[in-house]
Amino acid sequence: MDKVKRVCVYLWSAILVGLDQVTKMLVINNIKDDSIVVIKDILRFSYCENKGVAFSFGSGHVPVFIIVNLLMICGLIFYFERNRKDFNWLSRIFFIMVIAGGISNLLDRVFRGFVVDFINVNDFINFAIFNIADIYIVVGIIGLACCMIFKGDKEWKKKS
């Protein structure tokens, strides 16, 4: 992968981090003490401070999560840099999403002491409140897994 593509990966990651941080600032400034119904009985925006990780697990251990989060991001970037030739355009997009989500939630933990969550679907399904960065991470991981599975399948078919 040439330098332009590498720069684009990190530039797009920064843009996605910025978008997530803007949504969180909008929530903090506009609905911190209230809730906004977006789609009745399905989706509303509600301010929530998550001092843990997924589903508020481990609440109160923010310094540990900062270290783990930082190590995971560094590990992913290290893996990407060492294996960048193996990433096609689609897997790069999914990688960008995972890195951006991780960095954005890390910024929350470092500068706020918690992650700002606000997407609330509890009226529709019983699920934890989450944010845009969480969506990046989940979609990115599922996408990368699919890329790995299908790439592996193609390599297997070539060998047989």
Q: Tell me how far apart the alpha carbons of residues 43 and 122 are, in angstroms, rounded to a whole number.
A: 8
pTM for this prediction: 0.85
pLDDT in tens, 104-159: 999 999 999 999 999 999 878 888 899 999 999 999 999 999 988 887 545 534 44
pLDDT value of residue 16: 97
Beta strands in 7-122 (DSSP E): 35-39, 43-50, 115-120
Active site residues: 117, 134
Per-residue pLDDT tens over the stretch 13-65:
999 999 999 999 999 999 988 889 999 999 999 999 988 666 555 566 678 87
In terms of Cα–Cα distance, which of 131, 127, 106, 105 is closest to 118? 131
Bridging pattern class, strands 115-120 and 43-50: antiparallel
C-beta separation of 140 from 94 below 8 A? yes
